[in-house]
Structure 1
């Protein structure tokens, strides 16, 4: 939602197409405050709408909605959301274990870390 606000403040006409509602996983009252703020910045919000298809003709895009309406745009910024793939995540958790971090101080008082940020997988065990 940062890009839509930015482009709207820079003078672009911005339309957000949202399948459910803005910030659907958040508290409805908090989401309403964010929505009002976006609209105050000039962002047009179409919620509870699904996209059927998108077409491109002569440099302009047309987003066809399931309800039969459409939105025309010069540029389309797609933000499909984040849907976790639990199976992949579990698989990665089993294969990847953080390597311990060792910390020591040099004589000047600087902290040195070894192994920080590295990960060990089953394929490259020591």
Structure 2
């Protein structure tokens, strides 16, 4: 009985671990600019059971610099969202909650100076600070 348990238990762990990793693997779908191999957009999908869902999007400028990046949950913007200027400096950053702005959103000028901070509560703007 113990011998069967020692043989069966490791096999069960390997099967369960493999299945979990396969379900959680990210599937990138890349759209490139027509005149180059530089990615224009990368849509990241993840398999959840029998469903494949969008979990993240990345958008790029023609020279390859990231323009936008954000996360999705159940088909809605959810989590951190960041946008950059072409020079690589952050333009704005904040969080979405079920496609609504939520919490603090910070905006920067191209030189890196903060020029505005907005606060949202489930999509409703509650406060603006300008600098």
Normalising by the smaller structure, the TM-score range is under 0.3
Between structure 1 and structure 2, the one with the greater Rg is 1
Structure with larger RCO (C-alpha < 8 A, sep 6+): 1
TM-score (norm 2): 0.20
**Structure with more of its chain in helix, by fraction:** 1
TM-score, length-scaled by structure 1: 0.21
Q: Give 1 or 2: higher strand fraction.
A: 2
